Amino acid sequence: MADSGIRGLRHLALKVTDLARSRKFYEEFFGMQVVWEPDPENVYLSSGRDNLALHQIPSAEVSRYRSAKDQLLDHLGFIMDSPASVDRLFTQAERFGAPIVKPARQHRDGSYSFYMADPDGNVVQVLYEPNISGKV
């Protein structure tokens, strides 16, 4: 296939119930840094390769989002450089009391990961994937 210009899925936007709490979570656990904060309801973070937008849900609508029983987003993921890095972040998440959805384990395809929840309950996979971890 000719070069289409596509460079990957490098941007994700999440609605959040507490912008400051979510910002802190992604900064502390994943080392993301603010690249743009256009107003008090929006913040854009970057890992240097990826972009994560956090959008504050208006206070009048927060209860509607909290009452939802299921999320449509299955999970988002952060690629790690090694299984040891996955284990380090797992230990850090446990130490800080982050909700662990699934503990660290080896998968049939050779990948290694664990799942945790962010402050709004979005599931975040911390993943070493041998086919792409060395390429990003």
Delimiting residues of CATH 3.10.180.10 domain(s) in the chain: 8-59, 74-136
- Tell me the CA distances in angstroms from 46 to 23, 118, 135, one per residue in order: 11, 17, 18
Do residues 93 and 29 make contact, with C-beta atoms less than 8 angstroms apart?
A: yes
CATH of domain 74-136: 3.10.180.10
For the chain, how far is it from start to end, CA to CA, in angstroms?
21
Q: Phi/psi zone of residue 58: left (φ > 0), alpha (ψ -120 to 50 degrees), beta?
A: beta
What are the residues facing 1 on neighbouring strands? none
Q: What pLDDT digit, counting tens, does each position of 14-57 carry?
A: 999 999 999 999 999 999 999 999 999 999 999 999 999 999 99
What is the pLDDT at residue 8? 76
Q: What is the pTM of this model?
A: 0.86
Q: What pLDDT digit, counting tens, does each position of 83-125 carry?
A: 999 999 999 999 999 999 999 999 998 999 999 999 999 999 9
CATH of domain 8-59: 3.10.180.10
